[in-house]
Amino acid sequence: MAHSDGVEGTAMQLEIKRREAGIGQTEIGKLGALWCNFMHDAPLWPIHGEYQCGICGRHYPVPWTENRAFHAHQGLGA
């Protein structure tokens, strides 16, 4: 058997193509996050300051916690 079948074979082929093209992991991650933002509409409830995509499992920070921390910091200096 020359090639693996199923998901493992596909993942291995994608990794080989990524290495041949010289694409780094950060570029792949950015592209994946962009795809997730446009195509996946199943966010899970936020827990501990982040939420998870219900389709691909990516984790994202909850935007309003960053704003709250920023405003709280501004209030301490006044």
User: According to the 3-state scheme, what is the secondary structure of the chain?
Assistant: CCCCCHHHHHHHHHHHHHHHHCCCHHHHHHHHHHHHHHHCCCECCCECCEEEECCCCCEEECHHHHHHHHHHHHHHHC
Domain ranges of the chain: 45-78
Write out the chain's pLDDT in tens, 78 residues: 444 456 666 767 776 666 666 666 687 888 888 999 899 898 889 888 899 999 999 999 988 876 555 555 555 554
The confidence score (pLDDT) of residue 1 equals 42
pTM over 0.75: no
The confidence score (pLDDT) of residue 55 equals 92
Strand partners, 61: 50
The confidence score (pLDDT) of residue 37 equals 87
The confidence score (pLDDT) of residue 63 equals 82
